Amino acid sequence: MPDLHGFGGQILSGAFTTLEVALTSLIFGLVIGLLGATAKLGPIKGMRVLAGAYTTIIRGIPELLIILILYFGGTVVLSTLYGDYVEVNAFTAGVFSLSIVFGAYATEVFRAAILAIPRGQIEAAHALGLGPVLTFRLVMFPQMLRYALPGLGNLWLSLLKDTALISVVGLEDLMRKASVAAGTTHDPLTFYAVAAALYLSFTSVSLAGLNVLELHANRGVRVLGGERR
Amino acid sequence: MNWPIIFDALPSLINGALLTLQLTSTSVLLGLIAALPLGLMRASTSKLLSGLVLSYTFVLRGTPLLVQIFLIYYGLSQLSWIRASFAWSMLKEPYWCALIAFSLNHSAYATEILRGGIRAVAPGEIEAAKALGMSYMLRTRRIVLPVAWRLALPAYANEIVLMLKASSLASTITLMELTGTSRKIVAETFSPYEVFISAGLIYLGITFVCVQIFGLVERRINRHQHRPLSKKGREPGEVSTDAASQDRFIA
């Protein structure tokens, strides 16, 4: 990394924070998404309504507003609970909000993927005497992954870019470091261009990785005319 | 819940929402106008044209919108030749910077969605148009675009909702749209829950109305079909409308 008026190291550490936030939110978001999809397709009506309300509300509100609600609102709630001023840490608030947002979209992706598995496959698994856990692990999950991967890939890319929003509440991520450096050196063009280039490299690497994953998930799928859709 | 604060804040929030709507609709309109030629170039058989447009959409879809806004608002003012040019009267205003960033960003997403739609037009229909002796312009206008538009609409409707939500980023460069107004009121009253949740409900309301309107439009433009395109059970061999949404980044 070039020196960049001495801010090179700062930018690099910001880039690590960005990746850290994105990966942590990805893991929590995937878990929320699986739970949400299970609730939405499950037999309990209350759970279905709850999961439906969750995805509708979260997908209808800007990510920035969700971050602000959880950051400032979280401070107020925790302060009243403890009876003393508690400040919510930007990392926690950020990961929390991005996981909730990712989870809401992932719920829909997983739901569609589960519905795309032919019913007969699951019946066949039951007929072979597989229990619910084995049915999920051996029959549903590998097929679901194939349908869910393109959608999840898109969600990951938007998550990666949404991390920039947490800089608004003061997380020391790539965006924030670039802003600070831009303000100090009066050279915003350079620093925002460097930030843009780094984000672009993250998304490019992700795209290449996702292609490999998709090829792997689609192994054994017969392709008509040798052309992949 | 502190109700008086909500009632006091409501008029300003509604004013903010009007700016949000204005920003969103203007950027969507400008973005769409740019996306029409770009989408045709992107879907064309020319590797050069398609590649050029791809690099445009790749950069705009691969970087955060916030970076793009800051680059335009803070970055461009650094160049003396821009400050000397006539464009400076616009570029010094946060409103225009936000509008330019949103329009560019939206045009990139809209281009890729349009490309998905164009590529999904059945080859037989294009061949038939060629066989009838239609020129490129004529068959694009009469055959390709009407079909592509129907195929791309569900994904595009989603994109407009995403643009509406993305317009909240204008608050980072001092614009007092819905999010900006609510941040200002929170800073004055320190009642984050009441104000932010009211703003969230207004966003939800706008999103809901958008989704309803697009549902109506979709049903209307597909009314000649026995089964609506957006529902399950497409014609065999027809590329799903999701093709457009599958290979795009969500804003």
The full DSSP string for A187-214 is: -HHHHHHHHHHHHHHHHHHHHHHHHHHH
Q: Per-residue pLDDT for A21 more than 80?
A: yes
Task: Kindly state the helix (H) or strand (E) to which residue B197 belongs, with its residue range.
Answer: helix B192-221
Contacts of B177 in chain A (CB under 8 A): none
Select from A18, A54, A56, A64 the residue whose CB has the most chain B CBs within 10 Å, as the one to mutate to test that interface. A64
For residues B206-220, give the mean pLDDT: 93
For residues A105-119, give the mean pLDDT: 93
In the block, residue with structure tokens 């051996």? A138
Cβ-contact B111, B54 below 8 angstroms: no
**Fold designation for A8-226:** MetI-like fold (1.10.3720)
Q: Per-residue pLDDT for B244 more than 60?
A: no
Cβ-contact B31, B105 below 8 angstroms: yes
- Write down the domain spans for chain A: 8-226
Instruction: Please tell me the total number of residues recorded for chain B in this structure.
Output: 251
Residue A2 binned pLDDT confidence (cut-offs 50, 70, 90): low
Which of B65, B78, B249 lies at the smallest CB-CB distance from A189? Answer: B78
Rounded distance between C-alpha atoms, residue A138 and residue A136, angstroms: 6
Whether this model's ipTM surpasses 0.85 comes out as yes
CB pairs under 8 A between A and B: 134
Q: Per-residue pLDDT for B230 more than 70?
A: no
Find the residue in A nearest to B172 (Cα). Answer: A168
Paired tokens of B1:
């819940």
Q: Per-residue pLDDT for A3 more than 80?
A: no
Q: Which CATH architecture has domain B3-231+239-246?
A: Orthogonal Bundle (1.10)
pLDDT at A217: 87
Contact B196 A161 (CB under 8 A): no
Task: List Cα–Cα distances, B114 to A163, B48, B59, B160, in angstroms.
Answer: 28, 18, 18, 13
Cβ-contact A62, B166 below 8 angstroms: yes
Q: How far is B115 from chain A (nearest CA, A)?
A: 15
pLDDT at B233: 45
Which of B161, B207, B249 lies at the smallest CB-CB distance from A158? Answer: B249
Task: List Cα–Cα distances, A1 to A14, A81, B112, B169, B248, in angstroms.
Answer: 13, 45, 33, 29, 30
Q: How far is A183 from chain B (nearest CA, A)?
A: 10
Q: What is the CA radius of gyration of chain B?
A: 21
Cβ-contact B167, B16 below 8 angstroms: no
The pTM score is: 0.88
